[in-house]
Structure 1
Amino acid sequence: MHSTCSDAPAEAVTLSARATIAAALAAALDDPLRVAACTPVSPDKVLLADAWEEVVGMFAACAPIELGVGERAPRPDDGAGLSRWLAMSADLRGRAYVHVFGLVVSRLCPPFETEYCATKDTFFRAQQMADIAGFYRAFSCATVAGASLRPDHASPELSFIALLLSKLARIAWECGGEEKQEEVRVCFQALRAFIRDHASWWMPAFANAVLHRVDTLAGAIRNADERNAVLALGGAASCLRSWMALERHLAGVEPARRITQASVEADVDPSADECGACGTCADGAGPHSAG
């Protein structure tokens, strides 16, 4: 990934668009209950729409791209679904978040990388967690996950990808010449390694699990606002799996061939409703009806 001043503006625009989507996805998958004020994120809809249009155009220009398990080609309307979810109040998103993910680690669609590891060996999972944290520390963002999020949560992982893309976009805008090429090399190698080892292999499976959970829940939620919010979260998940297909391809990472699914080890009351027994679901909702 080496740019010249002649192609830097175009490259900077595409990198900025990719960073914008990554940051928006990170915000979309963060736990809204961590937000003190129940206010909308209020994304710049025009900026998000333009960024997603750029992503869709890049995918079309790269076609044909071999898709991995769980991935999907970006569609023009995916960006609108992401924007719709982010524009909702934190309170409403928080209620939808609990419906889908529950109050403890979800067994159906956990937003944590290590819950998708094929092995249940605790040492291996601890090593994965340490490797993720090592990436964050290497780029001076050790607190990217905050005090209440595990480093392998989808939100901080996406925030880290957004950070690297933003760094690459800044260098492209500055058109710094040869002295900046080493920084470009380091950032791109980190981006490629992180996508290969810690994003592309599990996020499409996670997104599909969220979509399945949303399909299961939506018809059973009595409150119309909460039902619409749950559907909007599904739109953000759909955006994630198509965006990940492009980022994986641009990073030069091979598509995933193995079917991945969550394997949560947690002491959870099997009789408890996955969405926290909030009382707003119709009878039969929750993990037992999800199949």
Structure 2
Amino acid sequence: MANPVPAPNPVPAPGTASAREVSRRFRPPVLVALAASGVAVIALLVVAGGWLTPYDPGQQDLMRGAAGPGDGHWLGTDALGRDVLSQLVAGARTAVVGPLCVAAGALLLGVPLGVLAGYRAGGLFDAVINRFADLVYAFPAMLLVVVVVGTIGDGYWFAVAVVTLLVLPAQIRLCRNTTLVQARLPYVEAARTLGLPAARIMFRHILPNIRPTVLATLLLDFGGALISLSGLSYLGLGVPPGTPDWGELLRQGQTLLAVNPYMSLAPGLMIIIATVGVTLLGDWLYDRGTAGTDPR
């Protein structure tokens, strides 16, 4: 009796992928997973920090003064006897909300302006946008922020507005350049031939194809704004004195390094985790968004 011929393994149809391949493709590397976990922890502190602080961040204990960890204070206390861990947790909201506003402002203003400039490349609007970007790029960004905020001194939210203005040209330029590439592709020419309105072509067809670039730039803007605003607080030009903030903690802890180094190390570490975390996460999301894309 002849041996039965085994049935051949089914061959996947072209353009399809098994569930395992899809899972492997979108599974984040270990480093990205750690970065996402760090960002998630910081987001939790921002949302629920008021319920997680072991002490009132403003509660003073002048008899204790500055001291290292001990007596229920895991990160020690500052010069006024305030719990450093409570200030660190409470300061997450101040440290993160400002950069979020910067990134959101650059997104809401930069994306429409950049897409319109790229779609209308070579026109008057494109020329004005490019000259504005060149003008902002001509100045050292951080030095300009320090001079303007230090001269006018109108508070933290004025600093947020200035940083947003300086971040805006990068978002505009990236959206313009990516839109310029998309506008030359056949699917845009086909949409024009069909007589679709320019606004629909830009925001219903081109914008979804540049979404990975927009998202990556959003996260990079957040990281840059976090460093800038924390630096301003460290220089005494950001949040008002006494307000829980990572940059303010760094400034106060500079004079207490010999007594309680955790007062500077902890907020510095949080700034590093937040900045590196959003950068790695943005790079990974950009790679996943652009892998195998098929503009149409």
**What TM-score comes out, normalization by structure 1 length?**
0.29
Instruction: Say which structure, 1 or 2, has more relative contact order (CA 8 Å, 6+ apart).
Output: 1
Return the structure number with greater helix share.
Answer: 2
Q: Which has the larger radius of gyration?
A: 2
